[in-house]
Amino acid sequence: PRLEFGEEKIKAERMFGLMDVFLKNDPLSLQKDILDHVEFTVAKSRFNFDDFEAYHALAHSVRDRLIERWHDTQIHFNRKGPKRLYFLSLEFLMGRSLSNTVINLGVRDQFADALSQLGFEFEVLAEQEGDACLGNGGLARLSACQMDSLATLDYPAIGYGLRYQYGLFRQVILDGFQHEQPDYWLNFGNPWEIERVHITYPVKFYGTVTDEVLNKEKHKVWVPGEVVEAVAYDNPIPGYGTRNTIVLRLWAAKPSDQHNMESYNTGDYVDAVVNRQRAESISSILYPDDRSYQGKELQLKQRYFFVSASVQDIIRRFKDTHKNFNEFPEKVALQLNDTHPSLAIAEVMRVLLDEEHLGWNRAWDIICKIFSYTTHTVSSEAMEKIPVDLMGSLLPRHLQIIYDINFNFMEKLKKMIGLDYDRLARMSIVEEGAVKNIRMANLSIICCHTVNGVSRLHLELLKTKVFRDFYELWPHKFHYKTNGVTQRRWIVVSNPSLCALISKWLGTEAWIRDIDLLIGLRDHATNAELHQEWKMELCNDLMLVCTIGNVQVSLNAMFDVHTKRIHEYKRQLLNILGIIHRYDSIKNMNKNDRKKVVPRVCIISGKAAPGYEIAKKIIKLCHVVAEKINNDNDIGDLLKLVFIPDYNVSVAELVIPGADLSQHLSTAGHEASGTSSMKFLMNGCLLLATEDGSTIEMIEEVGRENMFLFGASVNDVPALREKGPALKVPLQFLRVVRMIRDGHFGLKDYFKSLCDKIETGNDYFLVGADFASYLEAQAAADKAFVDEDRWTQMSILCAAGSGKFSSDRTIQEYAEKTWGIQPCRCPS
């Protein structure tokens, strides 16, 4: 196995001091610990407590073990002094922690036994936990998967983020319409975090910049207008099959005591205290838009707050063991998860210049060595811009620094490319126009040593379209690391029966750390005995059936799942139109033909950004269509449509293991990568997909014959769009759109704008152009499903070929090629 240290090395590590296991994991010790927490942490009598209280006591006992390992890991890292990775992300979608933690710690069965002796069931208690939804979608869940891999692969890493008091809004469906409700997730306390009241940093805002002379040298001094305190909350992240436990440090804002004192002298004490509380609003809310930057002052404040606290913490940790900054680039790698934390560049520069007095050249040299950036989008329009006026008022010194970086870059660029003013203007960090903006992507590309895309196709689009000018200038900076997901959460935790089956047939559990072993399933792909067991596994849709609640479904049906954020480019509309077509076709069939129809349960789930009108209409359309189909007795079990509200990590954990078919319908060239497809693939779910983002790479891993592919390829898209009104769309498409327009499902006025959007000539995402090919792929899926052996074999081959899509592979590539960090394994 690639990351294990040799015996010799482990012995050498022991010489530094053996780390005794402190807390014991035998049944009696565990029971005692749980009851102690019932009595003293939850403060309930140990003779009388319910499931919820038991969950909290259990979580605290698990947390104690996490803390022990985390301390040991810290001590080990501090002794070894390795280069560390600092992973900066505004979003982490962690979901629940209990099951994942006990599995990674290797104490799940011990805890389950201890609990059963106390009269509780582990699974029931695990259900008590709420989701931590501190992120929007793919990008945020990716951060969570990557933290799991960093810990498991023993990398010395720290994640930094924000401790939002309100997570992503809860989606409530009333009469088929999405409504948003606040997710005040900390209501019942959060046993997985450790509040660090003594780890706090002041964060400055507003004010002015003055010149001062110090030791005969001129320096800039930023005199802030407001100071807020950042408090650390540590969330330990355990690795699997290792003692290593790393940390995700989240910052919360609180009023500062050292500053802003003058307000008390005004006499209005009560107002002054109330005003102080406003500081907390900085970290209170996660912005619910998964594409665009709002350019709001509070959002910028939030980002700088996060960046400043993290940078202070990183520099403090470095200075604890170093006298000067010579070694900084050898000890520190800073990863920017999209441009959201890219103010960190200007902040490190500011600290090195104004506080450490390093001088421009030395500071700039350091900046260019420590930062790397990963982009998660394919469109230039989605790139973040910050209005210059806003930045100038909130962060006056940072604006100066960014202007200086830009000036130097422009001078250099002119020497390299000449006076090509159009190109200079495109590449400038500052966008001129009615409103002047700072382009955060340009800032990031100019200052980072590496720019990563999240799939091979994504890099291609960056090189030829989005960042073309920069690619031509610095081809060596551009790379890709195809995304991955952690098999610990997405198989071991969420699909324990499949996990056991895989381990049985591979004859080992080692694939949980070494995903490459999964390929071994291929050797058994035609084995009749495995087929039997695998089929049982595929039929095990009960959890899913429970999730969809009151719609009666047939267990023989194909469970067809489409779950992700609602977006025009993700084309949930294509799915719904396909369902209408299926419904219409069945209605027009005679009895005999109906007998040949494969029963389907179509499941759609996902949130629309609160201000995204069209996405909200798509949700409503799904509901009116479901209403019609599900209540049509003539159709019976042949077709059902269910929208599961409030899609989140926990819902995904239920739905993914139960799915037979999953849909990934983005118009080619629009999905940077896509990660839910990887979770389905690992679980042996077949994919119906376009050739986009990561699905292209799946074709190579599992074979075209084991997927249902359709639609225009990325090279076809521009020509199809060109055609405009001359574009040919199939009659079936016109027919289903007509049904909606004519009010077949009601609300025809309401859906008019939706229909107009896919009208020929107006159909940017090519729903009409891809419709015929989509229906063919659906028909192929039906045909394959009827042949049970074929379907089972395809399913086994999908799981067997999914190894590439583990975040362990992604993280190892980042570590070796981008961050330059080594594993640092804590002795156990």
Residue ranges in contact with ligand NBX by CB under 6 A: 136-140, 142, 290-291, 293, 376, 454, 483, 671-675, 693
From 617, 683, 700, select the one nearest 176 (Cα to Cα): 617
The minimum distance between CB 290 and ligand NBX, in angstroms, equals: 4
From 78, 80, 58, 59, select the one nearest 70 (Cα to Cα): 78
Secondary structure of 745-758 as H, E, C letters: CCCCCCCHHHHHHC
Rounded to the nearest 10 degrees, the angle between the axes of helix 138-152 and helix 98-105 is 20
**Which residues have C-beta within 8 Å of that of residue 186, sequence separation ≥ 6?**
165
Q: Cα(767)–Cα(347) distance, rounded to whole angstroms?
A: 45
CB 640 within 8 A of CB 601: yes
CB 157 within 8 A of CB 83: no
Q: Cα(83)–Cα(819) distance, rounded to whole angstroms?
A: 9
Element (H, E) at 531: helix 528-539
**Which residues have C-beta within 8 Å of that of residue 352, sequence separation ≥ 6?**
325, 358, 362, 363, 366, 367
Report the DSSP beta bridge partners of residue 462. none
CB 564 within 8 A of CB 676: yes
CB 659 within 8 A of CB 537: no
Considering the complex, state which of residue 694 and residue 706 has its C-beta at the smaller distance from ligand NBX. Answer: 694
Considering the complex, state which of residue 291 and residue 426 has its C-beta at the smaller distance from ligand NBX. Answer: 291
Count of C-beta atoms within a 10 Å radius of residue 234: 18
The minimum distance between CB 544 and ligand NBX, in angstroms, equals: 24
Per the rule left: phi > 0, alpha: psi between -120 and 50, beta: everything else, 260 is left
The minimum distance between CB 483 and ligand NBX, in angstroms, equals: 5
Q: Cα(695)–Cα(675) distance, rounded to whole angstroms?
A: 9
Element (H, E) at 111: helix 108-117
The tokens for 775 are 């229906």
Q: What is the DSSP letter of 203?
A: E
485 exposure class (CB count in 10 Å sphere: 0-12, 13-18, 19+): buried
Q: Where are the alpha helices (DSSP H) in 714-787?
A: 717-723, 731-741, 752-757, 767-786
**Which residues have C-beta within 8 Å of that of residue 77, sequence separation ≥ 6?**
84, 156, 824
The minimum distance between CB 69 and ligand NBX, in angstroms, equals: 29
Q: What's the one-letter identity of residue 622?
A: C
Q: What is the DSSP letter of 240?
A: S
Q: Cα(630)–Cα(600) distance, rounded to whole angstroms?
A: 12
**Which residues have C-beta within 8 Å of that of residue 504, sequence separation ≥ 6?**
none
Considering the complex, state which of residue 163 and residue 376 has its C-beta at the smaller distance from ligand NBX. Answer: 376
The minimum distance between CB 294 and ligand NBX, in angstroms, equals: 8
CB 477 within 8 A of CB 449: yes
500 exposure class (CB count in 10 Å sphere: 0-12, 13-18, 19+): middle
Q: Cα(698)–Cα(802) distance, rounded to whole angstroms?
A: 8
The minimum distance between CB 144 and ligand NBX, in angstroms, equals: 11
The minimum distance between CB 715 and ligand NBX, in angstroms, equals: 19
Q: What's the one-letter identity of residue 581?
A: H
CB 660 within 8 A of CB 620: no
From 801, 774, 526, select the one nearest 684 (Cα to Cα): 801
The minimum distance between CB 423 and ligand NBX, in angstroms, equals: 27
The minimum distance between CB 455 and ligand NBX, in angstroms, equals: 8
Considering the complex, state which of residue 89 and residue 406 has its C-beta at the smaller distance from ligand NBX. Answer: 89
Considering the complex, state which of residue 338 and residue 770 has its C-beta at the smaller distance from ligand NBX. Answer: 338
**Which residues have C-beta within 8 Å of that of residue 72, sequence separation ≥ 6?**
19, 243, 245, 826
The minimum distance between CB 233 and ligand NBX, in angstroms, equals: 21
From 383, 302, 140, 292, select the one nearest 610 (Cα to Cα): 292
Which residues participate in catalysis according to the annotation? 376, 564-565, 570, 675, 679
Considering the complex, state which of residue 277 and residue 294 has its C-beta at the smaller distance from ligand NBX. Answer: 294
